């Protein structure tokens, strides 16, 4: 891929290779879908999914990705407003990726399938309460509600508590929050 590419739907086994390619979310539809049919495999390498701003309207939005199928992500970075990535099924590998949720939501949400996280950093957002902008709670580095999660040689950071006028008002979150499924963590 070239230097920039719009968000996308990938529904067949392809290897998308970027050289730091920036995936530009569309304001009306910031979601990229990766839904790979059985028997096919997809790989996404060296892609960036950043936050975008329209300074004229003071509006921010970011890429989000929904993944289902046999998918490998290598060297990709995600920095989004309301949650970076949801793994809903299949066999997904994240290797040497960076995931951040900057204004709420989860950097990685695993609801089904098998998700392996190797050499990856997942950083939850910090809670915030501001008089004019409202508030949002902190998020964990990774949240799991189903499926199987394997984590090795990775850094997980939960979001910190929110402050208003120097007083804590919102709770912080753990690095990994498991409410369903099975998680295995090694050397992380």
Identify any residues that bridge with 107 across adjacent strands, giving them in sequence order: none
Position 93 scores a pLDDT of: 98
Position 168 scores a pLDDT of: 62
Question: How many other C-beta atoms lie within 10 A of the C-beta of residue 92?
Answer: 26
pLDDT in tens, 46-91: 998 877 655 555 555 556 788 999 999 999 998 876 677 899 999 9
Position 20 scores a pLDDT of: 86
Position 28 scores a pLDDT of: 58
Position 129 scores a pLDDT of: 55
Residues of the chain with pLDDT under 70: 26-31, 52-63, 81-82, 103-104, 128-136, 162-171
Position 126 scores a pLDDT of: 79
Position 4 scores a pLDDT of: 87
- Spatial neighbors of 119 by CB under 8 A, at least 6 apart, are 95, 96, 152, 153, 154
Helices then strands, counting H and E runs in the chain, come out as 0, 23
Residue 168 contacts residue 137 (beta carbons within 8 Å): no
Position 56 scores a pLDDT of: 58
Position 37 scores a pLDDT of: 93
Q: Is the pTM of this model over 0.85?
A: yes
């Amino acid at each position: 891929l070239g230097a920039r590419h719009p968000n996308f739907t990938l529904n067949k086994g392809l290897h998308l290779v970027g050289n730091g390619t920036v995936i530009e979310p569309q304001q009306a539809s910031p979601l990229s879908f990766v839904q790979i049919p059985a028997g096919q495999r997809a790989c996404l390498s060296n892609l960036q999914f950043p936050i975008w701003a329209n300074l004229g309207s003071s509006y921010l939005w970011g890429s989000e990705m929904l993944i289902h199928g046999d998918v490998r992500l290598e060297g990709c970075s995600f920095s989004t407003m309301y949650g970076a990535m949801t793994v809903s099924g299949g066999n997904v590998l994240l290797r040497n990726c960076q995931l951040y949720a900057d204004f709420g939501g989860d950097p990685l949400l695993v609801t089904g399938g098998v998700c392996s996280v190797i050499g990856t950093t997942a950083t939850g957002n910090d809670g915030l309460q501001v008089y004019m902008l409202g508030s949002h709670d902190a998020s964990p580095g990774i949240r799991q509600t189903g499926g199987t999660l394997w984590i090795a040689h990775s850094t997980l950071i939960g979001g910190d508590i929110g402050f208003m006028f120097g007083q804590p008002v919102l709770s912080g979150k753990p690095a990994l929050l498991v409410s369903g499924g099975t998680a295995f963590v090694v050397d992380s």
